Amino acid sequence: MNNIKTRSGMLMTRGVMKMKTDPPSFVCSVRTFKHPTTNVTVSLHPIPNIASRSFFNAMAEQVHLDPKFDIILCEDGRLPFVEGSAEARKAQISRTIFPIFSHRPVVPSTCTKFEGLTTRDPAESRMAWMSVTQTMSPGVDPRARRAVERLESYPPGTRAVCPWNIYHNVYFSDKLAELGYELIEDREVVVIDQKQILGLVVMMFVVSMLGGMFVVRTLFGM
């Protein structure tokens, strides 16, 4: 438990997320960088595993991102599903049942702004996480490094957004600043508020109770 608290605290001290007390809530920093020469803008949208549905909609859904950006650069293995596919139907069902959990978006076949790799290496996730929690400097994040290289290849004036898992944002911010990108916006967005936190606690309690009842019935045939 102490290890979990330490790691969560590390994310907060690195400026990725914050805990507010008035009113009680968790917030994330949404940062936008702009290169002074190429005028390429990069918006970093941190995506935690648990958040309100309104947060996920604003940060990662095509209907909200499409009008604002030219390119939506997805994390490896997180490209959206295409409407009408079996994967899309499963994702929509999961999102309806568990709206507070992160799910891959579903987009129409006509949407062409999403870019990224179709597969992901779990080892790279662990490397990025350890880089943040162990305060490595410089950071080690091969997945985000490739993304930055891709961002550097975009034509002048491109407006790009990166809806990536929250722990990648540390490397993104440091590397973009190193490459000369200037921070032009840093705003706080509520991830989950007090009411939603209480709802999550109630839901977890109900799920644990149902799980316990299932185990009892299985063991004792009740």
What's the whole-model pTM score? 0.82
Sequence-ordered list of residues with C-beta below 8 angstroms from that of 85, at least 6 positions apart, any chain: none
Secondary structure, 3-state, 55-69: HHHHHHCHHHHCCCC
Please count the structural domains in the chain: 1
Say if residue 166's pLDDT is above 50: yes
- Residues 121-144 have pLDDT tens digits of 999 999 988 888 887 777 889 999
Each as own residue / partner, the long-range contacts of residues 19-27 (CB below 8 Å, 24 or more positions apart, any chain) are: 23/193, 23/194, 24/193, 24/194, 24/197, 25/190, 25/191, 25/192, 25/193, 25/194, 25/197, 26/190, 26/191, 26/192, 26/197, 27/188, 27/189, 27/190, 27/191
The answer on pLDDT for 5 being more than 50 is: no
pLDDT digits (tens, 9 = 90+) for 63-121: 999 999 999 999 999 999 999 999 999 999 999 988 888 999 999 999 999 999 999 99
Q: What is the pLDDT of residues 6-41, one digit of tens each?
A: 455 555 546 677 877 777 788 889 999 999 999 999
Q: Which of 137, 101, 143, 86 is nearest to 120 (CA)?
A: 143
**Number of Cβ within a 10 Å radius of residue 171:** 24
Structural domain boundaries, residue 140: 2-220
Q: Give the pair of three-digit tokens for residue 24.
A: 């009680």
Are the C-beta atoms of 50 and 100 separated by less than 8 Å? yes
Pinpoint the alpha helices (H) of 98-121: none
Q: How long, in residues, is the chain?
A: 222
Q: Cα–Cα distance between 58 and 60 in angstroms, integer?
A: 6
